[in-house]
Structure 1
Amino acid sequence: MEVYNEKVLYENPLLSLRIFQSQREDNLLINWHYHRELELLLVQSGSMEVFVEEDVFKLEAGDVAIIGANQLHRDRSSAERLDYIVLQFDLEQFFDHSTMPYMRYFTETNHPLSQVNYIFKENSSVKEDIGDCVREILSEATVKQTGYELAVNMLIKKILLLMLRNDKRKVLAEQEDFDRVRLRPVLSFVEQHLTDRIQVEEVCKLANMSYYYFVKYFKKSIGLSFTEYVNYRKIKWAERILLTKDLSVSEVGDRIGMPNMAHFYKMFKKYNDCSPKEFQKRMLAWGGRSS
């Protein structure tokens, strides 16, 4: 079986997504592939079969399907003309400090995200709402009016919210709101001390937990280890500094509490697939184009 890792190229570096409309007229079977982005398919006309590991989803006009990050998949169109929209996006980039606790619902630690496709079969209004969101994202990304990045960001979050609120089978591994309330002092502490070297031992006391219980509890509640979360928040802050302050890369590293340049570069590349300097050039160049 031939399998390939698809590299999804983003048109706008400010938005970690790709969306396009495609047409096919032959009975074509696409090879097995995967990518780190989530994928949403919306059929405009015609029909297709989507194979996701051991599941098969038959889609017709108006149907949508979601494929999880790194899920192996392929699709086949029928002999009739097929018109469909593909939306691919990096989930992590659409969560900020206030919404990060909800990312754990979509990290697929218990079930692959494709299992929520039952929602679209059982709830036609949700299917239509998500289809409308996908069309709006395509329109915004095509026309590119001022602030379209904000519109796309809101529409992505609306899609996630629709799935979360309509997951009657609890595939998205719901936990009590108590978890988020209990960790709120910890998340606030992290935001206030991003310039420092934050130790797990410090924050355990804020949550009134032992070290080992806190480590497990945080990972279960947030979907990231505490260290991963802190590094993620530091890199997000570094991105803002690179775009708003006239500082060298080493100064930015110092500002976010990552004075070791090798570690800073490694963490930055993990989340952006480029160096801090490359990120800065790319973003500022795009800003100049869209102004």
Structure 2
Amino acid sequence: MYPELRYEKVIYQNPLLALRIWRIDEEERTPEEIQRQTETDWQEKKYVKWHYHKEIELLYIVQGQQTAFCPDEKLILNAGDVAIFGSNEPHTTMPTDLQLSHYVFQVDLQNYWDQSTMNSMKRFSEVLRPLSSLNYICRENPEVRKRIGSLIKEIHDEMERGDEGHDLAVTAMFKQILMLLIRHDHKLCLHYNDNPMLQRMQPILDYVDEHLGAKIAISELCSRINMSYTYFIKQFKLAVGMSFTDFLAYKRIKRAEQLLLTKNLSIAEIAVAVGMSNMGHFYTMFRRYNDCSPGQFKERLGQPFQSS
């Protein structure tokens, strides 16, 4: 990563949904000299004051004009426009008109991976190119642009109200956005490695689900599907979209979240139940996925949701 960049730690409104969404209303445009310098820096690949985060980001412009930059593209966004940036993709924005109003939607895609949707979700793994390569979809297709913009606003409103079942509504609407991107990606910018390897890996996925509380040795998994260690590691990442180590940690932390909210167990008991008996490692991994400790997670989710 470039040394000029700033890492942004996204604080989720709801850890289970792993997202943050808010509306920004600005009344001042970026001074001309800063606009010129920002464009010059972009042309010279000097990413001064740019930032990145592991979450993907979508912008929806309600009023005014905003200029956005990512390494490969400059976007002039007007009312009704939508833009997307990939996970850990450097970007920066600046208001280039008075009275700018827009939504910012940041979400951790990994939180929405499950076995029922894995075949589609792996398309967003950014193996070959960042998700900003999909910006052509909303630029060329006004119907898709309008629908995604409406979904972003609806997600924001659901999070603001926090009604019962808002988590189901938000999840469904976000997956609609992903579905629209998949179905209208006629340039095939997403990851379309449709080999049968995912099907071959299915017994491994099932085994992991059934044995999260036990020690899982990669050598044992390799023997189950008759693969060498090196070949398994490579093919698993290609098929699933993340390394096996990351996948296993993700599944264990998600199971821990469920136990924290549904079982009257101590944190130590939960760590053992998900196969992480080393408490230091468990806390480290839990914080990586939730930006809080297990105790804070349980306390936060035990309270009625309040939008921030």
Is TM-score (shorter-chain normalized) higher than 0.5?
yes
Aligned length: 289
- The residue that corresponds to 1:22 in the other structure is 24
Partner of 1:142: 160
How many angstroms apart in 2 are the aligned matches of 1:22 and 1:104?
A: 31
Alpha carbons of structure 1 residues 204 and 278: separation in structure 2 relative to 1, 3 Å: same
Residue 112 (str. 1) matches residue 130 (str. 2): yes
Q: Match of 1:87?
A: 105
Aligned with 2:216 (options 174, 178, 198): 198
Q: Name the amino acid aligned to 2:189.
A: V
Query: Secondary structure of the equivalent of 1:162?
Result: helix
Instruction: Find the aligned partners of 2:94 and 2:17 in 1 and give their Cα distance.
Output: 29
CA contact (8 A) 1:24 1:81 kept: yes
Note the alpha carbon deviations across 1:189-211, whole angstroms, 9 max, x for none.
Answer: 11111121111122223333232
The Cα offsets for residues 258-287 of structure 1, whole Å up to 9 and x where unpaired, read as 222222222222212222222222221346
Residues 210-262 of structure 1, C-alpha deviations (whole Å, 9 max, x = no match)? 32211110011112211221121111111111111111111112211222222
> What is the Cα deviation at residue 177 of structure 1?
5.7
**C-alpha spacing 1:263/1:2, structure 2 compared with 1 (3 Å):** closer
Aligned AA (1:179): M
Hey, what does 2:189 align to over in structure 1?
171
The alpha-carbon deviation at position 57 of structure 1 amounts to 0.8
* Equivalent residue, structure 2, for 1:152: 170
Structure 2 distance, partners of 1:274, 1:6, is 16
Query: In 2, Cα distance between the equivalents of 1:247 and 1:82?
Result: 49
Q: What runs of 5+ residues in structure 2 fail to find an aligned partner?
A: 39-48
Once residues 25 and 259 of structure 1 are traced to their aligned partners in structure 2, the CA distance between those partners, rounded to angstroms, is 53
1:72-94 CA distances to partner (integer Å, 9 max, x unpaired)? 21122223322211111111112
2:166 and 2:51 map into 1 onto residues whose CA distance is 30
- The answer for the alignment partner of 2:267 in structure 1 is 249
TM-score (norm 1): 0.91
Question: Residue type matched to 1:76 in 2?
Answer: M
RMSD: 2.2
Partner of 1:226: 244
Q: Does 1:235 align with 2:253?
A: yes
Normalising by structure 2, we get a TM-score of 0.86
C-alpha distance in 1 between matches for 2:188 and 2:100? 33
1:37 corresponds to which residue?
55
**1:103 CA displacement:** 3.7
1:56-135, aligned counterparts within 5 Å? 56-135=74-153
Verify the 8 A CA contact 1:39 1:89 in the aligned structure 2: yes
Q: Structure 1 127/177 Cα, relative in aligned 2: closer, same or farther at 3 Å? A: farther
Percent of residue pairs bearing the same amino acid type: 42
**Shift of the alpha carbon at 1:66?**
0.2
Q: Contact (CA 8 Å) 1:39, 1:66: kept in 2 or not?
A: yes
Give the secondary-structure state (helix, strand or coil) at the position aligned to 2:196: helix
Post-superposition Cα deviations, 1:85-126, rounded to whole Å, max 9, x if no partner, equal 111111111222323454432232311111111111222222
- Aligned amino acid, residue 10 of structure 1: Y
The secondary structure found in structure 2 opposite 1:57 is: strand
One-letter code aligned to 2:28: D
Structure 1, 111-120 or 93-102: larger mean CA deviation? 93-102
- 2:13 counterpart of 1:11: yes
Q: Equivalents in 2 of 1:230, 1:241: separation in Å? A: 17
One-letter code aligned to 1:237: R
Which of 288, 291, 302 aligns to 1:270? It is 288
Contact 1:12 1:286 (C-alpha < 8 Å) held by counterparts: no
Q: Which residue of 1 aligns with 2:68?
A: 50
8 Å contact kept, 1:102–1:222: no
